[in-house]
Amino acid sequence: PSDCSARTKQQQVLTNPNNFSVDVRMPGVSPTGSDTYLCMAHPVPTSRDAYIVDFIPHASMDTVHHMLLFGCKTPVSTRSFWDCGSVQGTCEDEASIMYAWARNAPPTKLPKDVGFKVGGNSGMSYFVLQIHYGDVSAFRDHHRDCSGVTLRMTSKPQPFIAGIYLLMSVDTVILPGKRVTNADIACDYTSYPIYPFAFRTHTHRLGKVVSGYRIRDGKWSLIGRQSPQLPQAFYPANKEVDVKYGDTVAARCVFTGEGRTSKTYIGGTSDDEMCNFYIMYYMDSKHAIPFLNCMATGPKELFEHIPAEANVPITG
Ligand code: IYT
Ligand code: CU
Ligand code: CU
C-alpha cells in the first residue's frame, strides 16, 4: 500500500536508553520485471560503536524470493534505491554479509550476548539491503513494496562479537557434460577461537551439495552441509565444532556440468558459477575479528580424506 514512503526510520525504545531499532526497508518499490534485484542503503545511525542483536524480517511472501543485508563503508549509491542485478552492485568497498532471508527457510537467531558490531571504527557506516523480487505478476496492480528488515540494536558492548568466515573458490572450471566437478577450498586457521553457529551455502544452478569442515589432528568434523538449491538462508551449524589456532577450515562444492555445452567459470551472472561456504560465528569481544576470507584451493592430498557425505547430493 501507500503508507510505505517514510518507513525507513530510526526508533527509540523507551524502556532502555541503550536500545534502539533501525528499519531498513524498501521505500515503496514496484518492480517491472521478474527476477529484479533492488538495493537500498541506510546509514548506520550512530558514529559510536553499536551492536545488532536481532533481525526481524518483513517480507511479502508472494513477491520476495530472498533478502540479504550487508554492511560496508561505501554503498554503490545513496539514491533511495537502485537496480543491483547480476553483478556485485552493493558496495564500492568490500561488502560483509550479516543476514539472509529466503522464502520457506527458518530464520536464524543470534545467540544471547552476541552482536554484530557496526558504526564507530568498525568500518561499517552503511547497511545495504538487497532484495530479489521473483514473480512480477504480483505487481500487476502496481502496489508498492516495503519489504526489509528491522534491526534490534544496542550501544551496550556485547561479550561476544558475531562474524562471518567466507570460503570461496576463485578458479573452478566446470567442463561441459562432465558429471562431477569438485571445488575444494582450505585454509589454516591461526587466530583466537571462533564458535560457528550458522552457515550458508551459495552456488548457481550447477551446485549439488556444499559442505564445510574443521580439520583437527587429521580428523574432519562437519560444520554444515546443505543443498545450494534449497533456500540460501543461514542454517544452524553443528554446535560442537569450534575452530582454534592450528586447525584447518575446508569446504567442498560439488557441481555437475551435465546439460552445458561450454565451460562454466566462476563469475557474477547466472550462466557462471560460484562456490561459497559462509560460516557465521561468535568470538570473544576482547580479540574479535569480524570478517575472514579463504580463497585458497585445497590441496589434493588433504581432500583425499574428506568424509564421503560431502559427495552425496542432497535430494528434496
Ligand atoms: C565470486 C564469488 O564467489 N562471489 C560471492 C562471494 C562474495 C561475497 C561477498 C564475494 C565478495 C563479497 O564481497 I559479501 I568480493 C558472491 O557474490 N556471493 C553472493 C552474494 O553476492 C553475497 C551470495 O549470495 O552469496
Ligand atoms: Cu532469490
Ligand atoms: Cu553467486
For the CA of 278, the nearest ligand: 1
Which residues have beta carbons under 5 A from ligand 2 (an ion)? 65-66, 132
Q: Which atom of ligand 1 is nearest to the CA of 169?
A: 3
Shared-domain flag, residues 123 and 153: yes
Assess if residue 3 is contained within a domain. no
Shared-domain flag, residues 274 and 183: yes
> Nearest residue CA, atom 15 of ligand 1?
94
Beta bridge partners of 211: 225, 252
What digits encode the pLDDT tens for the residues 256-267?
999 999 999 999
Shared-domain flag, residues 58 and 196: no
What digits encode the pLDDT tens for the residues 93-129?
999 999 999 998 988 899 999 999 999 989 999 999 9
Active site residue 305: no
**Single residue among 158, 186, 211 that ends a domain in this structure:** 158
- Span from the CA of 132 to the centroid of ligand 2 (angstroms): 5
Place of cell 515503496: 28
DSSP letter at 246? T
Contacts of residue 75, Cβ cutoff 8 Å, sequence gap at least 6: 39, 41, 90, 91, 92, 126, 128
- Residue 136 and residue 250: Cα distance in Å, rounded? 39
Catalytic residue among 153, 168, 204, 229: 204
Q: Is the pLDDT of residue 242 over 70?
A: yes
Shared-domain flag, residues 226 and 297: yes
Q: Is the pLDDT of residue 293 over 60?
A: yes
Catalytic residue among 40, 65, 158, 229: 65
- Residue 70 and residue 80: Cα distance in Å, rounded? 16
Q: Is the pLDDT of residue 253 over 50?
A: yes
Query: Which residues have CB under 6 Å of ligand 1?
Result: 68, 70, 88, 94-95, 97, 168, 202, 266, 274, 276
Q: Is the pLDDT of residue 12 over 90?
A: no
Active site residue 274: yes
In this prediction the ipTM stands at 0.96
Assess if residue 14 is contained within a domain. yes
> Nearest residue CA, atom 25 of ligand 1?
202
Shared-domain flag, residues 149 and 190: no
**Single residue among 113, 142, 158 that ends a domain in this structure:** 158
Exposure string of 243-281, with b = 16+ CB inside 10 Å and e = fewer, is beeebbbbbbbbbbbeebeeebebeeeeeebbbbbbbbb
The candidate with the shortest Cα–Cα distance to 98, out of 227, 278, 305, is 278
Shared-domain flag, residues 152 and 169: no
Shared-domain flag, residues 88 and 207: no
Catalytic residue among 26, 42, 66, 67: 66
245 band by pLDDT with thresholds 50, 70 and 90: very high
Shared-domain flag, residues 221 and 301: yes
What digits encode the pLDDT tens for the residues 36-88?
999 999 999 999 999 999 999 999 899 999 999 999 999 999 999 999 986 66
C-alpha cell at 99: 543476514
Q: Is the pLDDT of residue 9 over 50?
A: no
The candidate with the shortest Cα–Cα distance to 24, out of 41, 2, 46, is 41
Angle at CA 274, nearest 5°, toward 98 and 181?
135
Shared-domain flag, residues 153 and 171: no
- What pLDDT, on the 0 to 100 scale, is given for residue 199? 98
The residue segments making up the domain with residue 134 are 10-158
